[in-house]
Structure formats: structure tokens, C-alpha cells
Amino acid sequence: MSQVAAFAQRSALGDITGLLQKGALVAQNPRNYRSIPGITDYECEQLERETTHRWSHPRTMYLTIVLCSIGAAVQGWDQEGSNGANLSWPQQFNVSDQAGTPNAANHGWLIGLVNGAPYLASTCLGCWRKSRISRLDLSPQY
């Protein structure tokens, strides 16, 4: 329990240390959760619901999974297009990085920059702000 309390303090979750400790005890012995001291009837009902209603999750979670899957597929198509284009565009624009070609080292950097441009742009545009979790919402959802 002291490890849970230390984790809670390190993570600025001191106000829910008791709940985290109960969760750790449930994780250690999930079949005998009713014998854990201090566990409420509501918490027991919610633990039972996890096993009896396995697919009962918020719709936004399923939407997030679908959208991330679509995004991963699009990213894969983008990567495939970039890889295929790398076979022809350096020769087309006379920026080959083959050994013995004049300025091959500089051309290698240029080809790398073109390959990394989508990821560099998404990093600069999509991750411009450090996100913070100010507080966990642990209120009952049912």
C-alpha cells in the first residue's frame, strides 16, 4: 500500500489515494473483491458489471477506436505512396543519392527531408501545445 500512496503523491493524485489502494487490492485478488475492507456496495456492483457487461462502454470510446483505425490506414497509404515515389522522383529531379553522384550526401539529406515533411508538419501543427491532465474525473458514469 505504501507504493500506491507514493505513486499517488508523485502523480498529484493524493485526493484519491484510498480509491487507488482499493484498486490495487482488487487487482491482486480479483475473485475475492467483496472481502476487501472498505469496499462499498456500489463499487462491488460496478466490478460485477465489468464481467457481466463486457462490451458496455461509452460510444465515444468506440468512435475514437474507429477514427484512430481510419487515421492509421490513411497514414499507411501515405507512407506507401512516399515509398513508391522515392523510387522515381530523385532521378526525375536529378537529386540522386547514389554513390559516386555529385552532391550525393546533400541529396540524401534532401530526400530525407521530403520523406519526413508530412511528419514534421504534423508535429509542428498538431503538437504545438503541451497538454496537461489537471484532474481525473472519477465520478460514476452510470
Contact 22, 37 (CB under 8 A): no
Cβ partners under 8 Å of residue 2, min gap 6: none
Among 59-63, 68-72, 73-77, 79-83, name the one with the lowest average pLDDT: 79-83
Model confidence pLDDT, tens digit, residues 78-103 = 888 877 887 888 888 888 787 777 88
Whole-model pTM: value is 0.47
What is 108-132 written as a DSSP string?
Answer: HHHHHHHHHHHHHHHHHHHS-S---
